[in-house]
Amino acid sequence: MKILLAEPEFPIPTKGKNCKNYLPIGLLKLAAYCKDRGDFVRLARGNLPQEEVGFRPDEIWITSLFTYWREYVKRSVEHYRKLFPSSKITVGGIYASLMPDDCKTYTQCDEVFRGIHDGAEKSMPAYDLIVGSNDIDFQIVHTSRGCIRNCRFCGAGKIEPTFTYKDSIKHEICSNKLIFYDNNLLANPRIKDLLHEIADSRFKGKPIVCESQCGFDGRLLTPELAFLIKKARFQNPRLAWDGPYSQFREIKKQIDLLVDAGYRTRDIFVFMLYNWELNFSEMEKKRKKCLGWQVQIADCRFRPLDQRYDRYDARKAQTNDDYYIHPKWTDEQIKRFRKNVRIQNICIRMGFTKYSQKLERKGEQRRRIRNKIMEQLKEMGYDAPKVRQIIEERDGWVAHVRIAESYKKIRLSSEYRITGAP
């Protein structure tokens, strides 16, 4: 069978196409599954012209993301229906699973696939189908599906109603950076074994670093788990604070567990859902509490699970006709809270006591210099260097770098190129 796997032209910036947040991991697993059973498979990222598709598919499988991006799914169905009128078109993914009847009626596809494809779930994603796959320096992993919680604002229970888990992922590892997409990673009954496994694993002789995209369920966090998370080299740990301000003592205990395990407060994030049942005033109290703790905030604007549009624009005043505004919130409050969070995060990240655009630009410049120094030193064969201090001089820059437990001073040109060996 000839199958075309298509990703609609979602409004994702071109430079973000291969970002861990938008990689079409479901289609890549389906591609591997179909290849294994002998099908001819092609991945189309966007609405490609017929000559670029290069063949006439028997079936076209189109993925979907958020319900409020359904118009892009419809356009993709219409586009490929026009090119290949005799091909069967199936739509799957988040929108299809949350609103199957709407998806069938609105897009006029032939079939709607709900939930997780059991066969594809057992397959390793076919990353080789991605243009520029050599630039993808991460691997998306699931150790579990579903969630033990039943939060009203979350669609995980509808898409993955049964909680299932793996005992091991060691055989799956094919990158030095793992991005976990579990809805509730710590709920896996074998989580301690998995964390030990990751901590002891290497890929191409180098240690593995990790990130949990959905964050950690702080209610399940213990001193032992916090230590194992750090040992497994998880970066930027995230905790959720969806409840009221009155829970601040419990949240602080969770943060302290991560700090005791070795994390800096500025590297810890607290997920916050706004434009939800907690009003602006209470969310501001939570934000300011995080400022006092010196932890960053990962804010998430709430949209109903059946929201069919979202034309949010931070640059102008808007109404419910443009995007969902909760009855307890206003457009002005939504945008002010988001701006307050952004400024606060910058101050915490850069060590500012007060925000200014001049300081932010200066901090961004130093971050660029630091990244360029790290890239050059790695190209020169130095393993795991750390830039400790950057000083501007008349004809360039001087950086103090730790290499192999010793500190060295290196000079850079005004273009941030290292002018001599460390």
CA distance 306 to 155: 10
Instruction: Say what the pLDDT of residue 355 is.
Output: 62
Instruction: Say what the pLDDT of residue 322 is.
Output: 97
The tokens describing 144, both together, are 């579990």
Instruction: Say what the pLDDT of residue 31 is.
Output: 97
| pLDDT over 90 (residue 17) | no
Instruction: Say what the pLDDT of residue 266 is.
Output: 95
Half-sphere CA count of 355, side-chain side, radius 13 A: 13
Instruction: Say what the pLDDT of residue 384 is.
Output: 62
Residues 6+ apart with CB under 8 A from 108: 74, 77, 78, 81
How does pLDDT run across 194-220, given as a tens digit for each residue?
A: 999 999 999 999 999 999 998 899 999
CA distance 309 to 324: 8
| pLDDT over 70 (residue 107) | yes
Q: Please answer whether residues 366 and 390 qualify as being in contact, where contact means their C-beta atoms are separated by less than 8 angstroms.
A: yes
Q: Could you tell me where the DSSP H helices lie in 9-152? A: 25-36, 50-53, 70-83, 94-98, 100-107, 118-121
Specify the higher pLDDT residue, 18 or 323: 323
Cα separations in angstroms, 76 against 25, 39, 64, 72, 334: 18, 22, 10, 6, 32
Residue 6's beta-bridge partner residues? 44, 62
Confidence band for 21, pLDDT divided at 50, 70 and 90: confident
| pLDDT over 80 (residue 14) | no
Instruction: Say what the pLDDT of residue 15 is.
Output: 62
Lowest mean pLDDT segment, chosen from 18-27, 97-106, 107-116, 325-334: 18-27
CA distance 43 to 417: 39
Specify the higher pLDDT residue, 169 or 402: 169
| pLDDT over 90 (residue 408) | no
| pLDDT over 70 (residue 404) | no
Please, what is the Cα angle at 226 between 125 and 401, to 5 degrees? 80
* Mean pLDDT across the chain: 91
CA distance 26 to 129: 13
How does pLDDT run across 76-102, given as a tens digit for each residue?
A: 999 999 999 999 999 999 999 999 999
Packing angle of the helix pair 70-83, 100-107 (nearest 10 deg):
50
Confidence band for 62, pLDDT divided at 50, 70 and 90: very high
Confidence band for 375, pLDDT divided at 50, 70 and 90: confident
The tokens describing 273, both together, are 């859902």
3-state secondary structure of 408: strand
* Run of H or E including 140: strand 139-141
How does pLDDT run across 348-360, given as a tens digit for each residue?
A: 988 877 766 666 6
How does pLDDT run across 213-253, given as a tens digit for each residue?
A: 988 999 999 999 999 999 999 999 999 999 999 999 999 99
Q: Please answer whether residues 61 and 92 qualify as being in contact, where contact means their C-beta atoms are separated by less than 8 angstroms.
A: yes
Confidence band for 392, pLDDT divided at 50, 70 and 90: confident
| pLDDT over 80 (residue 396) | no
3-state secondary structure of 418: strand
